[in-house]
């Protein structure tokens, strides 16, 4: 058996072939295919696919120029062709003005569909086609560490792992690591928190990135004890320092230490999540540091020439296996993987939502096209006589088709122009709905790619909706069409086509409605579940103190204790506590632990739980019930034995029937950890895993024994929580005037912010579905009214011969019902297929949720039958004598 060769994207090939003159068609397609194959082997399929599309789309302009210089066959003098076009345009405009209703309705229908397509494409454009900031991005890879047991797909690495790969790997020309960081910038103004990255000095070289002023890091700057240097982001340099050139060479105070600014980063780095970085400093990897085995590094590498990501992945896996023996137990279960940077920047759920959106808007466009095609078909039949007369007078069939297509193009162009405006409106409302929190919505602008896409749609849609009606009407039989009356009977085939169109509309609409309903029900489920705590009336803020100024646990504990004491006394404060993470906002880290007296054979089976570090009073303040045992108290501090609370789910999962109270556990770490005694069992929080309704097991550790530097301060308040933001801030500044306070939000607001993007997406899907439903209803109504008006004579005769009006109604209803039924059945199959794509996004119900799969067709059927009933009723109101007289 021969292996099938990969082919370049056929649509791009078609686009090229369509525009190119014969002289260059084979050459250019051949060149691109040859390079496509050789690139695919080096850069992987996705990158190559994108490369091909880029080549095809950017060649549009030059190829049009080529075509204009090399016309294929100058069969007719140019002037005549141009004149014909103008004539067609004039004629088209005139016919449209004669029936403005049709023109307006079809233009609006298409404009809506084109608008949503352009909007969604502009999203796809930023997410999938965006220029990566690095030079020659095709050979840049991102390494990720996965751990099946913890359900981590995109984990980071430890410094130990990175150094092992860096020293032993042959696959990479450059292997760099980075990690996020936060510093406090102090100076003349208010203390400011700055975000940034610590990067190994070769990071910029690996990505092929330069500075716009000053220099990049040199390798010595990663050594322990090297002088502190920093590179500023272009945006930060502009915002904070007015882009003054003398900033390079000056010093900054970060966390109280002096840093020399050596360079300004290129603005190209302000890309996606990198855009948040304001400061870049060299990363020092110190073997004696306690974070040496902390999984907090991201690793990226530039492949050597001719090495693929798969090969590099195999090598890295082999290196990992080679050092596995000497690693502490916390390393077990982690597998390194290597991805191309281009493929890995969008996560799976994001990709799925994007694919779903793209499919949805394509459906919307198809439905709109079907609707306009339907209107055109009806009109074509009505214009049968006009066409027949023109043909009898010698108009060629091709000429007529062209003229009718010109009319379609006029509609298409008008619709695209309006659609572009609508797409902007849609993006604006998405930004507004998400409070500007979703970067992708803001980055989605009308760039060249989007304009080209809209242009393509403008060219393709009129063909999609106009070609069939044009061919049909131009092809009708001259002699029979000229005889009045038979023109209508000749519409039988036309009716069948229109029936198929309406059937497909119903099918597409049903599919979209099912998708929208599944997603909407998921969001409602998410919202209605019991959180397990009460966010109402709670104010939260984050206070992260720099470790350089608060060097030991004692100093940190002192600081936060003062914050608690001072805030407690403020009027309106019912209680105040600390917590390292806020439920459903920051998420707590998952820690593995061992249980005294229990032996695990496989590392995979080791118990694990979310670890919350909280100060006494947390349960009360958050209204989390204490089920048995005792709460954490002030006495659980560094001087006393270590204690913890467990959640009910943790107790159930790891102790079963036994009472966990009095049991001892030990967290897994590369350091020697103390035994911790369990003193209480508390209620569960809701699950954060969309696929698993069971809560995650949780541990609550006292702040007094697990002092941190970055804590959330939570206050339960009387009255408006936000009114306390100012007083609390002042209390903190009274302790330390250089201490910034971040992320001041009520818990309710924080929870809501986390869901904004899902709300916006659901709104999109629901809008699309309603739009689809409305258009199908209009389609059914149109076809049935038309069919009734055509059968006026037949119905009149039946009624004159004594048919009951009920029977006539049933006959018409049955005809339309058949369309709805067949379309609906096809739609159910489509919906079942689509729902498989949705599986990971659907929460709390099955992807084949019976309520949805019965309820949605019921709604669609009802609306379909109403649209069907109106014409049916009209049929029975026909006065037989008058109808027959017309005949």
What residues line the site for other proteins (CB under 8 A)? 24, 26-35, 37, 54-55, 58-63, 65-66, 69-70
Element (H, E) at 613: strand 608-614
Q: Which is nearer to other proteins, 34 or 349 (CB)?
A: 34
Q: Minimum Å distance from CB 121 to other proteins? A: 20
Counting every residue, how long is the chain? 887
Closest CA to 629 of 697, 683, 694: 683
Closest CA to 363 of 781, 830, 862: 830
Query: Could you tell me the CA-to-CA distances from 366 to 118, 359, 412, 801 in Å, in that order?
Result: 14, 10, 14, 43
Q: Minimum Å distance from CB 84 to other proteins? A: 28
- What backbone torsions phi and psi does residue 100 show, to the nearest 5 degrees? -65, -30
Q: Minimum Å distance from CB 224 to other proteins? A: 36
Q: CB-based contacts of 29: which residues, under 8 Å, 6+ apart? A: 13, 16, 17, 20
Q: Minimum Å distance from CB 760 to other proteins? A: 34
Q: CB-based contacts of 647: which residues, under 8 Å, 6+ apart? A: 609, 681, 682, 683, 684, 685, 695, 697, 698, 699, 700
Q: Which is nearer to other proteins, 33 or 809 (CB)?
A: 33
- What backbone torsions phi and psi does residue 297 show, to the nearest 5 degrees? -100, 145
Q: How many CB atoms lie within 10 A of CB 29?
A: 16
Q: Which residue has the tokens 């501090």?
A: 637
Query: Could you tell me the CA-to-CA distances from 256 to 19, 407, 433, 498, 547 in Å, in that order?
Result: 63, 71, 40, 75, 10
Q: Minimum Å distance from CB 206 to other proteins? A: 17
Q: Which DSSP symbol is given to 625? A: P
Q: Minimum Å distance from CB 559 to other proteins? A: 46
Cβ pair 766, 357 in contact under 8 A: no
Strands 608-614 and 643-647 come out as: unpaired
Cβ pair 433, 759 in contact under 8 A: yes
Q: Which is nearer to other proteins, 131 or 689 (CB)?
A: 131
3-state secondary structure of 172: strand
Q: Minimum Å distance from CB 67 to other proteins? A: 10
Cα–Cα distance, 416 to 365 (Å, whole number): 12
Query: Could you tell me the CA-to-CA distances from 128 to 47, 343, 443 in Å, in that order?
Result: 10, 9, 12
Q: Minimum Å distance from CB 644 to other proteins? A: 57
Q: Which is nearer to other proteins, 52 or 781 (CB)?
A: 52
Q: What are 313's two structure tokens?
A: 């992945």
Q: Minimum Å distance from CB 453 to other proteins? A: 17
Q: What are 546's two structure tokens?
A: 């720099």
Cα–Cα distance, 806 to 887 (Å, whole number): 24
Q: Which is nearer to other proteins, 21 or 155 (CB)?
A: 21
Q: Which is nearer to other proteins, 53 or 197 (CB)?
A: 53
3-state secondary structure of 178: strand
Q: Which is nearer to other proteins, 2 or 836 (CB)?
A: 2
Dihedral of CA 534/540/546/550: which sign?
negative
Cβ pair 503, 374 in contact under 8 A: no
Q: Minimum Å distance from CB 344 to other proteins? A: 22
- What backbone torsions phi and psi does residue 690 show, to the nearest 5 degrees? -65, -20
Q: Which is nearer to other proteins, 63 or 540 (CB)?
A: 63
Q: Minimum Å distance from CB 32 to other proteins? A: 6
Burial of 254 (0-12, 13-18, 19+ CB in 10 A): buried
Q: Minimum Å distance from CB 457 to other proteins? A: 21
Q: Which is nearer to other proteins, 63 or 739 (CB)?
A: 63
Q: Which is nearer to other proteins, 30 or 436 (CB)?
A: 30
Q: Minimum Å distance from CB 122 to other proteins? A: 21
Q: What are 492's two structure tokens?
A: 């039988």
């Amino acid at each position: 058996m021969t292996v099938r060769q990969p082919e370049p994207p056929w649509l791009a090939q078609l686009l090229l072939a369509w525009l190119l003159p014969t002289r260059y068609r084979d050459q250019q397609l051949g060149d691109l295919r040859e390079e496509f194959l050789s690139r695919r082997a080096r850069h992987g399929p996705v990158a190559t696919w994108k490369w091909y599309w880029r080549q095809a789309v950017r060649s549009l302009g030059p190829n049009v120029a080529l075509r204009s210089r090399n016309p294929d066959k100058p069969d007719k003098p140019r002037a005549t062709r141009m004149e014909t076009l103008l004539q067609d345009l004039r004629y088209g405009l005139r016919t449209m003005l004669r029936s403005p209703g049709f023109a307006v309705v079809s233009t609006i229908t298409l404009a809506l569909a084109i608008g949503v397509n352009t909007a969604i494409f502009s999203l796809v454009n930023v997410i999938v086609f965006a220029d990566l900031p690095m030079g020659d991005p095709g050979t840049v890879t991102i390494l990720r560490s996965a751990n099946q047991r913890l359900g981590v797909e995109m984990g980071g690495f430890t410094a130990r792992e990175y150094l092992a790969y860096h020293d032993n790997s042959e696959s990479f020309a450059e292997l760099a690591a980075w990690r996020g960081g936060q510093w406090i910038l102090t100076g003349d103004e208010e203390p400011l928190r700055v975000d940034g990255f610590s990067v190994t000095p070769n990071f910029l070289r690996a990505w092929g990135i330069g500075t716009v002023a000053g220099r990049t890091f040199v390798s010595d700057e990663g050594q322990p004890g090297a002088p502190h240097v920093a590179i500023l982001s272009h945006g930060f340099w502009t915002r904070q320092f007015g882009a003054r050139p003398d900033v390079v060479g000056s010093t900054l105070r970060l966390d109280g230490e002096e840093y020399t600014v050596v360079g300004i980063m290129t603005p190209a780095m302000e890309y996606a999540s990198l855009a948040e970085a304001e400061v870049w400093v060299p990363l020092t990897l110190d073997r004696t540091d306690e974070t040496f085995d902390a999984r907090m590094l991201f690793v990226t590498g530039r492949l050597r020439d001719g090495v693929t990501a798969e090969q590099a992945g195999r090598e890295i896996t082999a290196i990992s296996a080679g050092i596995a023996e000497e690693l502490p137990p916390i390393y077990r279960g982690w597998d390194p993987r290597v991805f191309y940077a281009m493929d890995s920047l969008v996560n799976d759920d994001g990709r799925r939502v994007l694919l779903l959106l793209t499919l949805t808007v394509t459906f919307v466009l198809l439905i709109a096209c079907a609707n306009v095609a339907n209107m055109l078909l009806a009109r074509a039949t009505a214009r049968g006589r006009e066409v027949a007369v023109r043909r009898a007078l010698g108009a060629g069939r091709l000429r007529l088709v062209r003229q009718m297509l010109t009319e379609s193009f006029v509609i298409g162009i008008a619709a695209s122009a309006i659609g572009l405006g609508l797409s902007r409106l849609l993006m604006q409302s998405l930004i507004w709905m998400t409070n500007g929190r979703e970067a992708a919505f803001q980055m989605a602008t009308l760039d060249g790619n989007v304009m080209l896409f809209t242009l393509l749609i403008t060219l393709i849609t009129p063909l999609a909706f106009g070609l069939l009606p044009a061919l049909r009407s131009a092809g009708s039989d001259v002699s029979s069409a000229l005889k009045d009356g038979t023109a209508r009977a000749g519409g039988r085939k036309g009716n069948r086509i229109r029936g198929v169109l309406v059937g497909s509309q119903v099918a597409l609409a049903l599919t979209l409605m099912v998708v929208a309903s599944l997603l909407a029900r998921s969001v409602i489920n998410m919202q209605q579940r019991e959180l397990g705590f009460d966010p109402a009336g709670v104010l939260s803020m984050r206070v992260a103190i720099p470790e350089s100024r608060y060097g030991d646990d004692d100093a940190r504990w002192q600081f936060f204790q003062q914050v608690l004491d001072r805030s407690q006394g403020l009027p309106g404060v019912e209680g105040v506590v600390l917590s390292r993470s806020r439920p459903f906002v920051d998420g707590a880290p998952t820690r593995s632990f061992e249980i005294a007296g229990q032996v695990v054979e496989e590392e995979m089976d080791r118990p694990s739980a979310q670890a919350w570090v909280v100060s006494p009073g947390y349960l009360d303040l958050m209204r989390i019930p204490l089920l048995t045992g005792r709460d954490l108290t002030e006495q659980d501090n560094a001087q006393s034995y270590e204690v913890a609370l467990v959640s009910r789910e943790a107790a159930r999962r790891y102790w079963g029937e036994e009472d966990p109270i009095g049991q001892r556990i030990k967290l897994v770490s590369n350091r020697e950890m103390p035994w911790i005694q369990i003193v209480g069992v508390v209620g569960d929080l809701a699950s954060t895993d969309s696929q698993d309704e069971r809560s995650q097991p949780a541990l609550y550790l006292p702040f007094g024994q697990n002092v941190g530097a970055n804590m959330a301060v939570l206050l339960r308040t009387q009255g408006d929580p936000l009114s306390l933001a100012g007083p609390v801030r002042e209390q903190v500044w009274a302790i330390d005037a250089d201490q910034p306070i971040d992320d001041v939000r009520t818990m309710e607001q924080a929870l809501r912010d986390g869901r904004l993007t899902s709300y916006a997406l659901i709104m999109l899907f629901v809008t699309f579905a309603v739009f689809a439903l409305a258009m199908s209803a209009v389609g059914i109504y149109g076809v049935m009214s038309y069919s009734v008006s055509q059968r006026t004579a037949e119905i009149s005769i039946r009624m004159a011969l004594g048919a009951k009006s009920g029977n006539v109604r049933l006959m018409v209803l049955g005809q339309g019902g058949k369309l709805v039924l067949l379309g609906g059945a096809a739609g159910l199959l489509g919906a079942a297929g689509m729902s498989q794509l949705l599986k990971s996004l659907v929460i709390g119900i099955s992807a084949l949720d019976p309520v949805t799969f019965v309820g949605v067709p019921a709604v669609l059927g009802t609306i379909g039958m109403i649209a069907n009933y109106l014409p049916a009723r009209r049929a029975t109101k026909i006065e037989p004598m008058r109808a027959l007289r017309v005949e």
